[in-house]
Amino acid sequence: MARQKRKRRGRYYLARVRKAGLLTETAFRTALLRPSSVILGDYAWTFTDLVAGKVETGEDFVFGKLTRYEPTGVVAVLDLEHHATGEQIARDLIVGSAPFVFMPSQSGIAYMHVWDIVDRSMFATQFVRVILEYFRNFFVECEIEPIVDLRTFAAKLQDLDIITEIEAKVHPPNPLFGRAWESLDAYIDNRNARELKITEQGTKDEPLKTKLASIASALATGAEQKLIDEVEMTDAAVLMAADGYGSGKVSGYNKDAEVVVLTSQTQLSFLFSKTPAPESLATETLRRLQSEAARRALKHR
């Protein structure tokens, strides 16, 4: 009996898509489905194999691939008449591509990491550039911000004996808000702020007083703890960033070693087919985003 061939799987990362300025949801969708190309050095980037559809529960999705290609390349050819090899100039040679799916109801995106071709950080950078190029960068803003694996993040924080510095940069969320940072969200909204940056510094002898590690652990396990209702502003900003609405940095010490924990280093991910069916990837992505939203007490406005 022939052995069944195993499906090849890749690692997909979960993130939020932040849209600001004149980049409305409708404008973003247009830029996604009618993509521009961005040329950087010898390579160019664009979206290909685009599919817009709905999963069984009715939520919209847009599937595609971020494709890296050479506008002008050289390929090896065979001259059979002289039994010799040579080279021939060819246009738009594909180097590689990374599948992705965007879920508007969650402002969420899942994208595959492709080693040395379209890695995780490269995807985020080039995806945004392709979107912004459609508008010639005119009064539009877009970012892909990681959704943090709270279990890993909490474990890293708990490894710190003391915390000496906390930094966070957050922006108004859409369409979700979180119980752990609801008061901070209201504060940002009332101030009509596009972005909030906050920094707290202590010292090794007088470290910061923070419950961040305990709160992150409670959220990671879905625990209904009073801690979650007593989050102070700076801790709330880091948790808001961890949910995909900014970036955070926590510095401290493990014994005598200085340690820095970044929200960007602990991104949620999952394994899925390297050649996914669009609706299947969308269904799995939505399931994971909704599961995380429930665990973190995120709700729609």
Tell me what percent of the residues of the chain surpass a pLDDT of 70: 95
CA distance 20 to 130: 16
Contact 113, 119 (CB under 8 A): yes
Please return the burial class of 143, using the count of CB atoms within 10 Å of its CB with bins 0-12, 13-18 and 19+.
middle
The answer to whether 251 touches 104, Cβ cutoff 8 Å, is: no
Would you list the domain boundaries of the chain?
9-146+268-293, 150-265
Q: Of 112, 117, 119, 141, give the one whose Cα is nearest residue 31.
A: 141
Structure confidence by residue, pLDDT tens digits, 69-80: 998 777 777 878
* Mean pLDDT (whole number) for 2-7: 56
Number of H helices, E strands in the chain: 7, 14
Tens-digit pLDDT profile for residues 270-286: 999 999 999 999 999 99
pLDDT, one tens digit per residue, over 92-103 is 889 999 999 999
Least confident window among 53-57, 110-114, 224-228: 224-228
